[in-house]
Amino acid sequence: MDFQDSQQLNVGLIGYGLAGSVFHAPLIATTAGLRLAAVVTGHPERQAQARREHPDTTVLADPQELWAAAPQLDLVVVASPNRSHLPLATAALTAGLPVVVDKPLTATAAEGEQLVRQAQERGLLLSVFQNRRWDGDFRTVQELVRSGRLGTVHRFESRFERWRPELKGGWRESGDPAEVGGLLYDLGAHLVDQALTLFGPAVRVYAELDARRAGAQSDDDSFVALSHADGTRSHLWMSATAGELGPRFRVLGSTGAYVCHGLDGQEDALRTGRTPADPDWGITAREHWGSLHSGDAEQPVATLPGAYQEYYAGIAAALRGRGPAPVDPREAVAALRVLEAAQQSARTGQAVAL
């Protein structure tokens, strides 16, 4: 195997399921300065898919083959099932390789802290793929909050709701805690990260985690309420059982409110084979813009372009010493503390102080 390319940073991607094939591989392959050098998957159909979609990429069957080629690599991306994040990221760091881990970083905050310490001790980059920070609607909310157009924000409502009344099967719906499945650690990992990014640390967590669908073993209809240190309250919904979808964001401030519906279109675009190299990437049509409200007054607000490509552009810059990682792993550890507190709250029915 020869991954050498003096002009580009060689990336090894572990996992070619939804995360690896739809999100990571296309974004890596279209980021200037990065080269998708290797994909690791033991699944024969996914191996064939990787060869078809990325013919210049070496396809490997086992991570051990990747560690053997460590001197030829500049970065490893872990996009495998949640239960494997800790051992694979640990192995990558042990092999002397910088690592990007898909969310959630690990199953627990203690495990996340362990990885952060290992990366710091070895002087290696460690980052977490929180791509939803670059959703167009979230970027718009960030700008509205930053600019003060809403005044002082007192309530932040955020939803990832879907209508999937039938179980699909697979590890994400498993009741085995080792699989780290359920919507809290899937969609909730994004919602909590966005809330903490906007309003800072949470000091109190309340949660309701329910399994509604017939045969469901993990949470599929959940709610998390955060009280932030700055006084803002975040109400976060994640559901696979919503026959009618609520607003994606409703942000209430002292001088107005912002409301928008629907999901950022970048995931759907990636699923259909489009990439950030395509024209009009991340653009939201005017009819899907959100609006600013103040009493009876309503004003449309142009949605900022979605920009998933900025994550790996930031990783490339950080690897070359031109800035910090785009997502600090310590922020992912803080989010894991919130997720663990949410689990405790749901078990006891009581709010949990952090």
Domain ranges of the chain: 9-129, 132-307+336-353
pLDDT of residue 6: 52
132-307+336-353 CATH: 3.30.360.10
Homologous superfamily in CATH for domain 9-129: NAD(P)-binding Rossmann-like Domain (3.40.50.720)
Q: Is the preceding omega at residue 44 within 30 degrees of 0, hence cis? A: no
Which sign, positive or negative, has the C-alpha torsion 194, 40, 65, 185? positive
Residue 288 is which amino acid?
H
SS (H, E, C) the chain: CCCCCCCCEEEEEECCCHHHHHHHHHHHHCCCCEEEEEEECCCHHHHHHHHHHCCCCEEECCHHHHHHCHHHCCEEEECCCHHHHHHHHHHHHHCCCCEEEECCCCCCHHHHHHHHHHHHHHCCCEEEECHHHHCHHHHHHHHHHHHCCCCCEEEEEEEEECECCCCCCCHHHCCCHHHCCCCCCCHHHHHHHHHHHHHCCEEEEEEEEECCCCCCCCCCEEEEEEEECCCCEEEEEEECECCCCCCCEEEEECCCEEEECCCCCHHHHHHCCCCCCCCCCCCCCHHHCEEEEECCEEEEECCCCCCCHHHHHHHHHHHCCCCCCCCCHHHHHHHHHHHHHHHHHHHHCCCEEC
Predicted confidence at residue 254, as pLDDT, reads 97
**Same fold flag, 9-129 and 132-307+336-353:** no
C-alpha 95/C-alpha 178 separation (Å) is 25
The 10s digit of each residue's pLDDT in 305-328 is: 999 999 999 999 999 999 999 999
- Kindly give the parts of the chain with pLDDT less than 70: 1-6
Q: What are the residues whose beta carbons fall under 8 Å from the beta carbon of 186, sequence distance 6 or more?
A: 172, 238
Whole-angstrom distance, CA of residue 100 vs CA of residue 126: 6
Model confidence pLDDT, tens digit, residues 12-43: 999 999 999 999 999 999 999 999 999 999 99
153 bridge partner residues: 253
- Position 188 scores a pLDDT of 97
